[in-house]
Amino acid sequence: MNINWYPGHMAKAKRLINENLKLVDMVIELLDARIPNSSTNPDFQSLYQNKIRVVVLNKSDYADADKTKLWKDYYEKQDITVLTINSLNKKDIQKLKKSLFALADEKQKEIKQRKGINKTIRTMVVGIPNVGKSTLINAISGSAKTKTGDRPGVTKTKQWVKVSPYFELLDTPGLLWPKLDDKNTGLHLAYTGSIKEEIMDLDEIVFRFLEEMSLLYPRHLTERYRIQDLDKKGHEILTDISVNRGWLQSGGVPDLTRAAKQVLDEYQAGTLGRTTLELP
Ligand SMILES: Nc1nc2c(ncn2[C@@H]2O[C@H](COP(=O)(O)OP(=O)(O)O)[C@@H](O)[C@H]2O)c(=O)[nH]1
Ligand SMILES: [Mg+2]
């Protein structure tokens, strides 16, 4: 998905999210565990204010476990419920559901005591492109078939999936746009695939990526690509990789375009090893 965020798009997306937020009691803010900082958009936080807010660090199978722990502590210190998952892992989804249901039950009981009614806790998933929203919604919904139909004031396509007695999930996610206020954020989003070549050329993105990896996770590069000297510019590192991998054009010239694409694909597929690029 390659979204160009124009003011018109943004206004429409924000209006949609706002409408849906009025209908929910709980918001699951999905973040990429490799880049929790760049995959959040603080502009939306005021919208979650009166909701049960759950931060989910997704794709934790790609992240550096020690640093994920630091992020967990960071959120817990602020009294924010935080869960770490790999959305593709059934056990993780079971654990997540248990936590969500417990939160919903607690809220349900509290409302029952105050108002004497049984309230179903409604939830939506929000996050930037490619963070795993659809995957998570499908995993939580699973085989739950009990979908309630249209309600007054609700768009026809909107469906609630009942996944526990007091817990319903909105089947469409809230799409947040990333906050591209500094260059590093844009780069991190490009490395992980949330934005495509919207900020700069693929080559440039990969040059910067290799320089950052040389500092943070040099062994990932030396082991994968059998290169030695990382104290170089990004384009020189990529040249070495091209040569070692045999990614060459006719005449033996390193094919940097192909190499850039391959390196980024490998990173995005987790082949380069676990990385977390940001600290709290
Ligand atoms: N390794 C891994 N891949 C994931 C995880 N969650 C989602 N994905 C993959 O990330 C890609 C984007 O997921 P998707 O649900 O389409 O993201 P959306 O754009 O936010 O709806 C897909 O290829 C998913 O299979 C996860 O926890 N771990
Ligand atoms: Mg999706």
Residue 3 pLDDT exceeds 70: no
What are all long-range contacts of 216-219, with beta carbons under 8 Å and residues at least 24 apart? 216/275, 216/277, 217/272, 217/273, 217/275, 219/273
Strands 167-170 and 121-127: parallel
pLDDT average, residue stretch 94-115: 96
- Looking at ligand 1, which atom is closest to the CA of residue 270? 1
In this prediction the pTM is 0.92
pLDDT at 155: 46
pLDDT average, residue stretch 42-59: 90
Q: Which residue among 30, 56, 83, 87 is best mutated to probe the pocket of ligand 1, counting the most ligand atoms within 8 A of its Cβ?
A: 87
Looking at every residue in the chain, the average pLDDT score rounds to 90
pLDDT at 179: 83
Does 174 contact ligand 1 (Cβ within 6 A)?
Answer: no
pLDDT average, residue stretch 219-234: 94
Confirm or reject CATH 3.30.413.10 for domain 7-175, answering yes or no: no
CB atoms within 5 A of ion ligand 2 belong to 133-134
Residue 1 pLDDT exceeds 70: no
Q: Where are the domains of the chain?
A: 7-175, 200-268
Distance 99 CA to ligand 2 centre (A): 23
Confidence of residue 154 (pLDDT cuts 50, 70, 90): very low
pLDDT at 10: 79
Classify domain 200-268 by CATH architecture: Orthogonal Bundle (1.10)
